[in-house]
Amino acid sequence: MLITLGIETSCDESAVALLGSEGEVLFHRLSSQIPAHAPYGGVVPELASREHLKALPLLLREALDGAQPQLIAVTTGPGLVGSLLVGIRCAAALAWARSLAFVGVNHLEGHRASPFLSLDGRPARIPPDRVLALVASGGHSSWYLDVGEESRMLARTRDDAAGECLDKVGKVLGLPYPAGPVIDRLARGGDPGRFAFRRPKIRDQSGDFSFSGLKSAAIRLIRAEKIDDTGDEQLRADFAASIEAAVVGQLLDPINGFVREHDPELITLSGGVAANTALRQGLLDAGRRLGIEVLLPEKALTTDNGVMIARAGQLAWARGERHDPRRIDAFSRKIWHPPGMRKILEARR
C-alpha cells in the first residue's frame, strides 16, 4: 500500500496526515495557533513561523511512529512564506534522508480535494469529470472548473476574501478572532432581512466578487447604530445574519451562469468558510433547484488540514508530478506553481 504523508503549514495551523493508497485516512493531527494570534486579532506571520517550528516536529514524530510513508506531499503555497518554509524544509529533509517520493502541493488544490474525503477510514471518492468548485476561506474566495486533470479559475475576489471580511467586521464588533464561526452562531437567532447591503457592481461578466466595499459598509453601520456597544442581543444577531447573508449571496451569485455555461456533474464547497451554516444550506438549495449534486466537506476538513494535502499530493503524483526536495521553494501569491517549478517538472519527466 502506498502510504502518503501530508504536511500543511501555509497559515496558522500545523497539520499532518497519513493516507492509504485509496485516500483512506490512517492518521491525522492538527495543532491550531488560534490562541497565539487571538490577542492580536489576526495572524502575525513571524509568530506563525515560530509556532510551526515548535509544533511540526512533535506532530511528525507522532505520525511517523511505526509508519513508513512512501510519498511525502507538502503545501508549497499560496500562503505565508515563513510558515510554508517550515513545512517545506521538514518535508524535504525527510524525503531526502529516507529517499522518499516527494511532491509539492498547491494549497487550493488541497482544499478542493477535501469534499471527497472522509475521516472514518473509507477510501476517497473519485471526482467525476466536470466539477464546479467554490473555495472560500480567510485568504481565498474563488470558483473553479475542474475538468479531468485540467483546472480553470472562473471567478475570484478582487480584494478581500469572504472569511477575511467576516473576521474584520467581527473584530470591529468586538468578537474574538476568528470571528467567522462566531458570526455563524450569532446569525442563527437573527433576521437576515433587517439590514440590506448593496451588491458591488463589477463591470464585466466575470462573476468576480468584491468584499471590501461590504466590509466598509458593515463597519460604518456598526458605528452608526452602535452595534458594538449595545446590550441589544437581537440587534447583534440581526446584524450578524445580515452580513452573513450578504457574503453568502455574493459567493453564490454566479452559480446559475456557471452551471448553464459549463454543465458540471457535481458542485463542491471547501475552505474554512465552508463550515458556515448559511453557505452550506444555500449551496444545497441551489443544487436542488438546478438538479445537480452538491458535495460538502466534513466540518473537520473545512479548516486547513494535512489530509487534503496528502490527497492532493496523491492525485498530483498519479498524474506524473514529481519534485526535487533539494530545489523546492515556497510561493506566497495565488499562482499555480512557483517560478521554475514547471521547468523542474518538465526536466524530470
Residues in the site for Zn ion, rule: CB under 5 A? Answer: 137, 304
Instruction: Provide the minimum distance between the beta carbon of 79 and Zn ion in the complex, in angstroms, as a whole number.
Output: 8
Residue 273 interacts with which of ligand KG4, Zn ion, none, CB < 5 to 8 Å by class: ligand KG4
Tell me which stretch binds ligand KG4 (CB under 6 A): 66-74, 131-139, 318-326, 337-345. 131-139
CA pair distance 108, 75, nearest whole angstrom: 9
Cβ proximity to Zn ion: between 9 and 137 the closer is: 137
How many residues form the binding site for ligand KG4 (CB under 6 A)? 20
Instruction: Provide the minimum distance between the beta carbon of 181 and ligand KG4 in the complex, in angstroms, as a whole number.
Output: 4
Instruction: Provide the minimum distance between the beta carbon of 7 and ligand KG4 in the complex, in angstroms, as a whole number.
Output: 15
Helix (H, G, I), strand (E, B) or coil at 278: helix
Whole-Å CA distances, 274 to 7, 253, 343: 21, 16, 34
Residue in the shown chain whose Cβ atom is closest to ligand KG4: 272
Residue 181 interacts with which of Zn ion, ligand KG4, none, CB < 5 to 8 Å by class: ligand KG4
Q: Is 69 in the site for ligand KG4 (CB under 6 A)?
A: no
Q: Is 303 in the site for ligand KG4 (CB under 6 A)?
A: yes
Three-state helix/strand/coil letters over 140-207: CEEEEEEECCEEEEEEEECCCCHHHHHHHHHHHCCCCCCHHHHHHHHHCCCCCCCCCCCCCCCCCCCC
Q: Is 109 in the site for ligand KG4 (CB under 6 A)?
A: no
Helix (H, G, I), strand (E, B) or coil at 77: strand
Q: Which of 6, 138, 287, 338 binds ligand KG4 (CB under 6 A)?
A: 138
Task: Supply 99's cell numbers.
Answer: 529517499
Conformation bin of residue 217: beta by default, left when phi > 0, alpha when psi is -120 to 50: alpha
Q: Is 298 exposed, middle or buried (0-12, 13-18, 19+ CB in 10 A)?
A: middle
Q: Do β-strands 150-156 and 25-32 pair in parallel, antiparallel, or remain unpaired?
A: unpaired
Tell me which stretch binds ligand KG4 (CB under 6 A): 61-69, 162-170, 212-220, 249-257. 162-170
Q: Do β-strands 25-32 and 71-77 pair in parallel, antiparallel, or remain unpaired?
A: unpaired
Q: Which residue has the cell 492509504?
A: 20
Residue 313 interacts with which of ligand KG4, Zn ion, none, CB < 5 to 8 Å by class: none
Task: Supply 18's cell numbers.
Answer: 497519513
Cβ proximity to ligand KG4: between 116 and 317 the closer is: 116
* Helix or strand run (H / E) with residue 136: strand 130-136
Residue 338 interacts with which of ligand KG4, Zn ion, none, CB < 5 to 8 Å by class: none
Q: Which of 23, 78, 264, 272 binds ligand KG4 (CB under 6 A)?
A: 272
Binding site for ligand KG4 (CB under 6 A): 11, 137-139, 163-164, 166-167, 178-181, 184, 271-273, 275-276, 303-304
